[in-house]
Amino acid sequence: QAKAQGRGTCCYFSADMQNEAEDRLRLEQDLRQALTLKQFRLDYQPLVSAADQSLVGFEALIRWHHPTRGMVSPAEFIPLAEETGLIMQLGDWVIEEACRAAAVWPDFISVALNLSARQLILPALPNTVSEALARYKLKANRLELEVTESVFLGDSEGSLDVLKRLRALGVGIALDDFGTGYSSLGYLNKAVFHKLKIDGSFVREAANNRETVAIIQSIVSLAKSFRMTVTAEGVETADDFTRMRDLGVHQIQGYLFGRPMSFERATDLVHGVQTKMTA
Ligand code: C2E
Ligand code: MG
Ligand code: MG
Ligand code: MG
């Protein structure tokens, strides 16, 4: 709100800014307790094969049910968790919870989870992951870890090393939100990523923009030359789906095939007679 007043009008700590700061502080305090109060859960969004629309896996997406604010978006609290360092504990909880879910589902279902760049600073991360896999007797290839290009902003050598150790465990590593970031293609050839996820904004823009289609085309061919799987995120319409499939994208994720859903609903979907999902 303070920002909305425009440049130059705000040269002291205004009441608005104070309110904002207090609100943030309160949210931060609530976030600290949220884990012990069990206010988090993971929802799961289906991933389908572009070829036959069969279910191939889920992406785990964190949800915070705040007692008075209601649902708080991860876009809001993940950055806060990163700044405060809480992401370490929260991230460990996500790994544990996602593995627990994967263990209930059959082998052909993979489970992807999101990692913050900050978690990759921890040299212990590969250990945490391999212990969780062992605890739930999961094959490593059931698990996929999604990171964004932001991991290459900070200590990129250290992060790359952690990613390589994770990859060596046999888990998949996906480059998330591809196309929105820093667009240095140099790191694609580091033998770390097994999958590239094209950002939903691109996918939807492709409906009205021929240049975007051309960009996706070259992303797909680049990824294929590195033997990576390509997923299109944010597929909302049947047109988006056919466009992505015809461009050679392997997997599809988006509201067209399902919104993020509870573990129970996801399990129903897995066990449904029809694993083939219709648009
Ligand atoms: P993301 O990893 O790129 O996840 C995809 C986001 O797009 C999700 O938003 C999902 O609900 C949304 N989405 C899926 N299909 C569609 C569609 O067809 N149309 C549109 N408009 N949106 C779609 P969500 O759940 O709000 O998560 C936002 C971001 O928060 C995630 O982006 C991820 O970066 C982060 N996040 C979520 N869960 C976690 C977590 O457990 N740990 C960390 N570190 N970050 C997380
Ligand atoms: Mg993701
Ligand atoms: Mg994404
Ligand atoms: Mg994202």
ipTM of predicted complex: 0.98
Q: Whose CA is nearest to atom 7 of ligand 1?
A: 234
- Higher pLDDT residue, 262 or 278? 262
The response to whether residue 179 sits with its C-beta less than 6 Å from ligand 1 reads no
Residue 198: which of 187, 208, 183, 210 has the closest Cα?
A: 183
pTM: 0.92
Ligand nearest to the CA of 231: 3
- Going from the Cα of 148 to the center of ligand 3, the distance in angstroms, rounded, reads 8
pLDDT for position 154: 77
Atom of ligand 1 at shortest range from CA of 82: 44
Selection from 152-156, 188-192, 242-246 with the highest mean pLDDT: 242-246
Ligand 1 in reach of 112 Cβ (< 6 A): no
Give pairs for 30-34: CB < 8 Å, separation 24+.
Answer: 30/66, 31/64, 31/77, 31/80, 31/81, 31/84, 31/86, 32/84, 32/86, 34/64, 34/66
Residue 274 reports pLDDT greater than 70:
no
Q: For residue 183, what pLDDT is reported?
A: 59
Residue spans of beta strands (DSSP E) within 38-160: 40-49, 55-66, 70-72, 110-114, 143-148
Which residues have CB atoms below 5 A from the ion given as ligand 4?
177
> From the CB of 97, is ligand 1 less than 6 Å away?
no
pLDDT, the chain, mean:
90
Hey, what are 114's tokens? 């999101």
Looking at ligand 1, which atom is closest to the CA of residue 62? 38
Which residue has the CA at smallest separation from atom 37 of ligand 1?
A: 61
Residue 20 clears pLDDT 90, i.e. is over it: no
Percent of the chain with pLDDT over 90: 77
Residue 44 CA to ligand 4 centre (angstroms):
15
